[in-house]
Structure 1
Amino acid sequence: METLHIEAVSDAAFSEMENAWQNLLYQSNVDKLFLSWHWMHNWWTLYRNPSDELLVLTIIKKGVLIGIAPLYISIDTTVKYLPNIRRVMFLGTAKQGFSGFRTEYLEIISTPPNGNDVCSAVFAYIRDRYSLDELFMIDVVVNSCTYTALDQFVTTTNCHKRIQSKNVSYLVDTQGSFEEYLKTLGKNSRLQIYNRRKNLQKLGKIELVQLGQDAFEDVFSLISNFHSSRWDNPIVFDTHKLFVRQLSKNAIISATGFILKVDENIIGASFDIKCGSSIYNFQLGFQDMTDQKLSIGLITLGYALENCFAASDITAFDLLAGNGKLSNYKSRIASEGIYMESAQYVFSTLYKLLYTFRNLYIKFLRR
């Protein structure tokens, strides 16, 4: 392997590397929204803790940028009577506390021929240069170069891997026709997402309003009200709004969404982000009308999907990971997309022992 030069960038340099970052991003095969400079830099600006340390690493080969590791060091002081935990995490993720929208599809960014070398070099660099207790890698793409390098890292170092969760995203390919898509659904799913529109139309005039950049904040208030009405627990979106406002200042990423009305009464709303040819569905809110045998959430998504199928510049509607509050509705209307894994890679001897004792204690309680 040729020598790779790795360098940690300063906060000031991070703020100035939009062009270099985006150029590399579009040479890579990684997600273009979550791993964009705009998403990562805005997250760091809004959600970092005062004690967090930036650890964005650039990887250079023969004077050419071939990789970027978007990381930071988190200092965990929440465990009483024990030393603080120093852990490396991806930007966009946090072990505890509020961190905004979930950041998914995480990987180290690299040009395709150099992925394995870049990822292996990054983790070796971190091991040799930094005094750490663990890596906490959330929503890493399974079977990516990053994932493979982490597993190799476990076998070559004295660290312990603790898998926290495994998730999968859900995706609808919108390059065909909406009619053909409906044929792929099960009978009950097709009934809920499309056929029951007839029942809804009996209640009044149906109107689907698509929101642009200047009106996306209205959706947050609607979704919060819906959530409060259904679960008696309103969602506060203040920092989400600021995050999206900053995110949307570039030409690549734009906020959008839909409002579903019946006779001017708003019964459903979705908040989405468009990046490239993909729509990412982040939030969905709706009025509970199950007493009328209407699943307004699925009907709202059905209208949104129909619009995406009709748009020539949209090829995918990404429902992201998560199963829904009451059921995994995504699995009934979309295909499985990308598998992700969240895991701790523990170096600290003390915390290895504590985690081992904790696991044994849990097993004992489950007997």
Structure 2
Amino acid sequence: MSVFQSLAWQSAWWKEWGEHHGFALIDPPLNQRSGIYIDRYRIRSLIPVQCLQFVGTNYRRLSTPRTEYNCLSSSGDAKAARARLDDMAAFRWTEAVFRDVHAASSETSAIGSWAASNGWSLREVHRDKAYSVQTSKSFEEYLATLGSGTRLKLFNRRKVLAQLGRVALENYWPGQTDRFFELLNGFHEQRWGAPCFNATSLKFHKAFLQAVDEEGGRPDLSVLTVEGIPTSVVYNVVYQSCSYNLQSGYVENFHKKVALGVLHLGFCLEQAFADETVERFDLLAGSGKKTDYKKHLATDEEELVSLMVVRSGFHRALYRAKDAVARRKAARMQRSDRQKTSGLAV
């Protein structure tokens, strides 16, 4: 299981967002098992929705830090997952959304068979890939597996960075946590035009870090400085033999030859390889602003899928109509693209 199913993450999330109007916790999180709640609301003030979902996720109404690798049972066992799903059927809900579950897992199969056996519809609402690096071999062996361009950005450009001044790494946990998040938000403001975390998300992350530290995890709020000036930050947490790369930020356009964010990740990866307690460095899901750097760095990848089970007959009809419109729109776009291609060929 992952850091996202730790009591530290689950409890901190519910503490910050659990009081949201319409939320009702029906099955609290246990260690290494996601909690479940129901969100009751209306779409456009008209259509009533009662959405069953994992603690740490919210479909439609809230944007919160992403919670990945969600699971129904601590063992990942299909029978345990099905038993919990059957328990959930006793509650009133119109749809259930299971976000970011392992696509090839027995639990995902259990969700599909559960929906089918009850005559409910199953929809895929999102699919993504999570990337990770196995750290069982040496860092040098890992570097040798990379493409020359990736290796240059991740490691070889350290020489260029060193020419600019004294390079140092420091973990800002626990004494400089506020300063770390100030730097992270500032770098994101410069790069994306908005801070990485709002006030509520900051409270969540600080509570999570304190709790995960007490739970046996090891926060690594890594700050890379050049001549004492912070230039890049990487937010990692080591939990149960895995280092999770939760966020990062850096000075935009620092040097034309240095990909600062990737170079800093290289230092973090080297530390993970050197740590005998760490077996994997998890880059998680998502891609970069300009390039899919995670794919180039990863030794492993895994598909995550988000599934919706629609229980209400009324809502099943609405989604069928919505999906039909989407299919027609996609077909029109494909025909248009073919016509454009045909015109270019002429």
Q: TM-score, normalised by structure 2?
A: 0.87
Q: Does 1:219 align with 2:180?
A: yes
What TM-score, normalized to structure 1? 0.83
**Corresponding residue of 1:8:** none
User: Retained in 1: the 8 A contact 2:6–2:31?
Assistant: no
Moved more, 290-299 or 345-354: 290-299
2-structure distance, mates of 1:281, 1:119: 28
1:45 to 1:67, Cα distance in 2 relative to 1, 3 A: closer
- Native 8 Å contact 2:22 2:40 kept in 1: yes
Residue number among 119, 139, 148 corresponding to 2:81 in the alignment: 119
Q: 2:194 aligns with which of 212, 233, 239?
A: 233
Q: How many Å separate the matches in 1 of 2:250 and 2:33?
A: 40
Other-structure match for 2:27: 56
- Contact 1:286-1:297 within 8 A present in 2 as well: yes
Equivalent pair of 1:189/1:333 in contact (CA under 8 Å): yes
Distance 1:57 1:90 in 2: 10
Would you identify which runs of 4 or more consecutive aligned residues in structure 1 move more than 4 Å?
Answer: 65-69
Is the aligned partner of 1:74 residue 2:39?
yes
In structure 2, C-alpha distance between the alignment counterparts of 1:244 and 1:236, rounded to whole Å? 9
Query: Structure 1 regions of 5+ residues with no counterpart?
Result: 1-29, 59-64
Q: Say if 2:139 is the partner of 1:175.
A: no
Please state whether the residue corresponding to 2:235 is helix, strand or coil: strand
Greater shift, 337-346 or 96-105, is seen at: 96-105
1:196-215 per-position Cα deviation (integer Å, ceiling 9, x unaligned): 11122222221122232232
Alignment of 1:91-130 (within 5 A): 91-111=55-75, 115-127=77-89, 129-130=90-91
Give % identity.
27
2:226 corresponds to which of 227, 246, 262: 262
Aligned equivalent of 1:39, options 1, 4, 9: 9
CA offsets 1:216-260 (integer angstroms, 9 cap, x no match): 332221111111112222233433332233332324223222111
8 Å CA contact 1:66, 1:111 repeated in 2: no
What is the distance in 2 between the residues matched to 1:181 and 1:68?
33
The answer for the alignment partner of 1:4 in structure 2 is: none
Q: Which residue of 1 aligns with 2:339?
A: none
- Asked whether the 8 Å contact 2:5–2:33 carries over to 1, the reply is no
Corresponding position of 1:61: none
Distance 1:91 1:277, change over 3 A: same
How much does 1:95 deviate? 1.0
Q: Relative to structure 2, which stretch is displaced further, 185-194 or 144-153?
A: 144-153
CA shift digits 1:128-160 (9 cap, x unpaired) = x12221111101122333212101112212211
Residues 5-16 of structure 1 aligned to structure 2 (within 5 Å): none
| CA RMSD between the two structures | 2.3
SS of the residue aligned with 2:219? strand
Distance 1:213 1:100, change over 3 A: farther
Q: Is the 8 A contact 1:137 1:343 kept in 2?
A: yes
Deviations 1:329-355 (A, max 9, x none): 000011234321101111122221211
Contact 1:160–1:346 (8 Å) recurs in 2? yes
Residues 277-308 of structure 1 deviation map (CA, whole Å, 9 limit, x = unaligned): 22111111011237612111101101111122
Which of 253, 261, 276 in structure 2 is aligned with 1:312?
276
Determine the structure 1 residue equivalent to 2:240. 276
- Partner SS state of residue 34, structure 1: helix
The one-letter amino acid paired with 1:55 is: I
Matched-pair contact (CA < 8 Å) for 2:6–2:32: no
Shift of 1:162: 1.3
- Number of equivalenced pairs: 327
Structure 1 residues 307 and 221: CA distance shift in structure 2, 3 A: same
Gaps of 5+ in 2: 333-346
Deviation at 1:57? Answer: 6.6
Higher relative contact order (Cα pairs below 8 Å, separated by 6+ residues): 2
Matched residues in 2 for 1:246 and 1:291: separation?
35
